């Protein structure tokens, strides 16, 4: 039996040496993980920076308008609508509101008996509402409107809420659609200039105001 001398507490246990290749592999893996983490952090930082710059410039890319239609799939009041697509997260930051303020009113591209088209929208309207940044079908059934007594404040409320400065009313090709004095008073009380014209003349006047950059809206009847 081996004798232990003074100062010896017991046999020394040596840890096994890892092969050089294994140590290098582990060290390399750690460097790769650290590098990947740094890359992710850099990309996230760049993304935040670009987002902040785009927000400051108001430069988020916006796609064109498209029609939304389909009975049973779109709620009443939303059918035949053409407007800017939902910005989702951007709307939460107030960009939706700022973008709407900056948008111009769409030009009316064509008018014939019973048919109207708005520039940038593929929907064909019979009667339509237009405002800065969008348009939709003017469905008289929503408010119970008829030729007499005619256009009601409820028909115009949606357009008024878009912040228009001028509102053009097209009474039809034969001017059969009435516009009561109470409806005109409603617009004036909201600080809105109102033009009531035969529809062909109304469209020409509306498009002229669009060309001048006026924040204009309108409701147009395309038949009698």
Does residue 178 have a pLDDT over 70? yes
Dihedral, 138, 139, 143, 144 alpha carbons, nearest 10: 130
Q: Which residue has the higher pLDDT, 81 or 27?
A: 81
CA–CA dist 121, 118 (Å, integer): 6
Residue 179 phi, psi (nearest 5):
-130, 100
Q: What is the pLDDT of residue 206?
A: 99
Comparing CA positions, the residue from 126, 218, 125 lying closest to residue 179 is 218
Tell me the pairing of strands 124-125 and 127-131: unpaired
Q: Which residue has the higher pLDDT, 40 or 183?
A: 183
The angle subtended at Cα 38 by Cα 32 and Cα 40, nearest 5°, is 105
Q: What is the pLDDT of residue 20?
A: 56
Give the pair of three-digit tokens for residue 175.
């001017």
Give the pair of three-digit tokens for residue 48.
């935040």
Task: Give the rounded distance of the alpha carbon of 215 from its chain centre.
Answer: 18
Does residue 129 have a pLDDT over 80? yes
CA–CA dist 171, 218 (Å, integer): 11
67-221, which class in CATH? Answer: alpha beta
The angle subtended at Cα 169 by Cα 166 and Cα 172, nearest 5°, is 160
Q: What is the pLDDT of residue 49?
A: 43
Does residue 108 have a pLDDT over 60? yes
- When mean pLDDT is compared over 53-57, 64-68, 95-99, 131-135, the highest value belongs to 131-135
The angle subtended at Cα 106 by Cα 159 and Cα 217, nearest 5°, is 25
User: Where exactly are the structural domains of the chain?
Assistant: 67-221
Dihedral, 34, 38, 44, 48 alpha carbons, nearest 10: 150
CA–CA dist 75, 73 (Å, integer): 7
Q: How far is CA 60 from CA 113, 190, 199, in A?
A: 39, 32, 37
* Average pLDDT of span 147-176: 98
Rg (CA), the chain: 33
Asked if residue 105 lies in contact with residue 214, where contact means CB atoms within 8 angstroms, the answer is yes
């Amino acid at each position: 039996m081996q004798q232990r001398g003074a100062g010896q507490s017991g046999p020394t246990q040596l840890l096994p040496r890892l092969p050089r290749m294994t140590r290098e592999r582990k060290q390399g893996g750690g460097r790769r993980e650290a590098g990947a983490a740094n890359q992710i952090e850099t990309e996230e930082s760049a993304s935040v920076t670009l987002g902040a710059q785009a927000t400051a410039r108001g430069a988020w890319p916006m796609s064109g308008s498209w029609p939304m239609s389909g009975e049973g799939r779109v709620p009443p009041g939303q059918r035949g609508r053409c407007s800017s697509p939902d910005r989702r997260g951007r709307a939460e930051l107030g960009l939706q509101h700022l973008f709407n303020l900056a948008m111009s009113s769409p030009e009316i591209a064509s008018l014939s008996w019973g048919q109207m088209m708005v520039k940038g929208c593929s929907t064909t309207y019979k009667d339509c509402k237009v405002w800065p940044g969008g348009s939709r079908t003017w469905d008289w059934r929503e408010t119970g409107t008829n030729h007499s007594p005619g256009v009601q404040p409820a028909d115009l409320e949606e357009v008024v809420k878009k912040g228009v400065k001028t509102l053009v009313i097209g009474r039809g090709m034969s001017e059969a659609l009435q516009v009561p004095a109470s409806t005109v008073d409603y617009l004036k009380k909201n600080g809105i200039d109102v033009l009531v014209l035969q529809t062909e003349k109304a469209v020409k006047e509306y498009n002229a105001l669009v060309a001048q950059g006026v924040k204009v809206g309108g409701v147009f009847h395309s038949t009698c």
